[in-house]
Amino acid sequence: MTEPDLALYGLRLSGHSHRAELFLSLLGLPFRFVEAAGAAQRGAAAFRRLNPLGQIPVLTDGDTVIADSNAILVYLAVRYAPDSGWMPGDPLGAAQVQRWLSIAAGEVRYGPALARLMVVFGAQADRATVHAAAARILTFMDGHLADRPYLATDRATLADIACYSYVAHAPEGGVSLAPYPAVRAWLARVEALPGFVPMPTSSIPEPV
């Protein structure tokens, strides 16, 4: 196979972007990172051609364009690591992974990720509502992980990659992970995977 020509358009402090970067690194795939930092850049015609929604991350693989972080994960797993277990082929495994991709885009996005967005990027939302949403999903995850190592199957899958970044960085939004020991043990398991790369922490001091 010829060397892939991969570029990831993203933002270093975005958890959506980080999950794509993390998976590229776990797969050992070489890629260019293109910082699409400001609204001006994302609103530019060249970027809108890649993603009319104006959102990062976007992956290009030669002439192929994939927008949306979870879509990027699925594309990379099926294209470059079929039969590896990252995206199970059996009906139950596939459904379990999809459940957590939905949770990453729903409960995690509007809980811990939004709490961080409010602190780090000044997003406007009702703090109490967002923190209650964060507590609800983290409590659920903690119970779910109490007797299993990973979210969807007995090995790391796309479910773990999709959920990792915003859960790991929840303290930057004032959401402590202290009450969730099983979640913290799971984060450490993901961080021990060969090829793991961290997302930079924002300069906001983390609460204890």
Ligand X SMILES: N[C@@H](CCC(=O)N[C@@H](CS)C(=O)NCC(=O)O)C(=O)O
Chain positions contacting ligand X, by CB under 6 A: 14, 16, 42, 54-57, 68-70, 105
Q: Which is nearer to ligand X, 18 or 142 (CB)?
A: 18
DSSP character at residue 34? E
Nearest residue to 161 (alpha-carbon basis) of 12, 23, 14: 23
Q: Which is nearer to ligand X, 16 or 169 (CB)?
A: 16
Q: How far is the CB of 56 from ligand X (least distance, A)?
A: 4
Q: How far is the CB of 143 from ligand X (least distance, A)?
A: 25
Q: How far is the CB of 68 from ligand X (least distance, A)?
A: 4
Q: Which is nearer to ligand X, 114 or 142 (CB)?
A: 114
Q: Which is nearer to ligand X, 42 or 131 (CB)?
A: 42
Q: Which is nearer to ligand X, 52 or 205 (CB)?
A: 52
Total residues belonging to the chain:
208
Q: Is the peptide bond before 179 cis (omega within 30 degrees of 0)?
A: no
Q: How far is the CB of 134 from ligand X (least distance, A)?
A: 17
Q: How far is the CB of 185 from ligand X (least distance, A)?
A: 26
DSSP calls for 121-160? H-----HHHHHHHHHHHHHHHHHHGGG-SSSSSSS--HHH
DSSP calls for 57-125? -EEEETTEEEESHHHHHHHHHHHH-TTSSSS--SHHHHHHHHHHHHHIIIIIIIIIIHHHHHHHH----
Cβ-Cβ contacts under 8 Å for 97 (sequence gap 6 or more): 87, 88, 152, 153, 157, 158, 159
